[in-house]
Amino acid sequence: MEKFVRLEGLVAPLDRSNVDTDAIIPKQFLKSIKRSGFGPNAFDEWRYMDVGQPGQDCAQRPKNPNFVLNQPRYQGAQVLLTRANFGCGSSREHAPWALLDYGFKAIVAESFADIFFNNCFKNGILPIVLPVDEIEALVRQVETTPGYKLVVDLQAQAVVRPDGHAIAFEIDPFRKECLLNGWDDIGLTLRHADKIKAFEEKRRVEQPWLFS
């Protein structure tokens, strides 16, 4: 998993509440478990005018010009700004996979659904909860300022606007350490690789019948 320390990224505003995981990545794309390749289908039903299917060439599909992520000014955005209860619905881990593959590294919202919130950390996305008034101010500024960027400083636990206004956010210390070091569940396990190997060797000697 890639480390997350500090990000200065273009912001895209998704001014909607209760965005569920089926909207983030529709059900027909859940057959694959590769974790990659879902970016072109993130928000598929909102981004395109037709119904997408796995393996389809999205470059040839008609796009919805009214959807925010299709607007030229938001191309290359790495910070998604949204409203309350983002990531509700089913617990599919494909949702953060799709957002990360699209290019989002941080999501700033009023609140998140619990399982989606946890899955973000496990996949290297930083979900940030900010007060409603701060979200409201950010939405207004992003919509009226082309090229609007935020600095997301995980070490300092702050989101910094272009005018220098810093907004503090809370994060669990363990999750913070994992993101700063790029540790997912597998990475955490591999930190103890020597101990695991020693245990396996000892077990092979003491209980060889298990390995016959």
The per-residue pLDDT for 96 is 97
Q: In terms of domains, do 170 and 201 share one?
A: no
The per-residue pLDDT for 30 is 92
Q: In terms of domains, do 100 and 129 share one?
A: yes
In a domain, 83, yes or no: yes
In a domain, 147, yes or no: yes
Q: In terms of domains, do 167 and 190 share one?
A: no
Residue 202 is part of which domain span? 183-212
Q: In terms of domains, do 113 and 190 share one?
A: no
Of the candidates 110, 106, 141, 147, the residue with the CA atom closest to the CA atom of residue 124? 106
Q: In terms of domains, do 155 and 111 share one?
A: yes
Q: In terms of domains, do 139 and 198 share one?
A: no
Q: In terms of domains, do 188 and 84 share one?
A: no
What average pLDDT does range 53-78 have in this prediction? Answer: 96
**pTM for this prediction:** 0.90
Residues 28 and 41: their CA atoms lie apart, in Å, by 10
The whole-chain average pLDDT of the chain stands at: 94
In a domain, 39, yes or no: yes
